Amino acid sequence: MDSEVKLLEKRWHESRTFEDEQRFLIAAVESGFLSKERVAFAGALGHAVSQVLLPPMTPLPEHYRSKIEPGSRLLSHSEAVTFALECAMRAMPAWTAVRPQDLRPAKAIAATQDWLSGNATLEAVAGAARGADDAGVETDSPDLVPGNLLLTAGLSAAVAASHSAHAAEYAAKVAAGLDPGLGDVEECVGWTAKFASDAAINRDQERNWQIERLIEYLLKRTDTRGEAHAPAPL
């Protein structure tokens, strides 16, 4: 990001006005820091300034996961996995409320965090993802799910954790020049967001948070210290 764009971003952080955000985004696109596709998709998700800057896109599908996946395809794999991780982390209380002794979903999240920081191997994150998968399968009882709402939410949280780790696994495979196999990063991000919202007390409110967060990643916003968004430690 060049100095002018940084200055305009700083000014927007300080004022939070529509006009300053517009100036920042125009400069970011003109400098090549942001692609028009990212800004247009942010507009399609409801971001007001982006809607003014670029013509509206074809309306996005109503199906929630189908909204998340194409947006995540505009992100780098690191951004996409980080977004998925944040969604899964927010869902974790639903799991610990019903299975506090089972740490496999938490280990999947921790492995994803480690992979993002360069401290986990492909094998480690893949193994943690499978562990969270197993935790979800073992919890899924036809006699209890979906009748038991707490257990159903916990199951959704475990599945979200496993998909966030699978997103990291597939990203690691792509980076290593390997065939990711069963799916791809963006598909896993979509499933993570879907199941994380299903685990929430208020699904619509959680989905609104996810959309706003995805918009932030699409527009590559940084905090006032100039540091890229990163998930808080578990």
> Does 233 score more than 70 pLDDT?
no
Kindly calculate the radius of gyration of the chain based on its CA atoms and give it in whole angstroms. Answer: 18
pLDDT at position 56 is 73
CB 161 within 8 A of CB 95: yes
pLDDT at position 59 is 84
pLDDT tens digits for range 86-133:
999 999 999 999 999 999 999 999 999 999 999 999 999 999 999 999
Q: In three state form, how does the secondary structure of 191-208 look?
A: HHHHHHHHCCCCHHHHHH
What predicted TM-score, i.e. pTM, was given to this entire model? 0.90
Percent of the chain beyond pLDDT 90? 79
Task: Tell me how far apart the alpha carbons of residues 80 and 169 are, in angstroms, rounded to a whole number.
Answer: 12
**Distance set, CA 145 to CA 25, 90, 161 (Å):** 46, 21, 18
**Distance set, CA 84 to CA 26, 87, 194 (Å):** 28, 5, 10
pLDDT tens digits for range 191-222:
999 999 999 999 999 999 999 999 999 998 64
pLDDT at position 141 is 81
Percent of the chain beyond pLDDT 70? 94
pLDDT tens digits for range 133-153:
999 999 888 777 788 899 999
Domain ranges of the chain: 3-53, 64-218
Question: Scanning the structure block, which residue is given the tokens 């935790």?
Answer: 135
pLDDT tens digits for range 101-110:
999 999 999 9
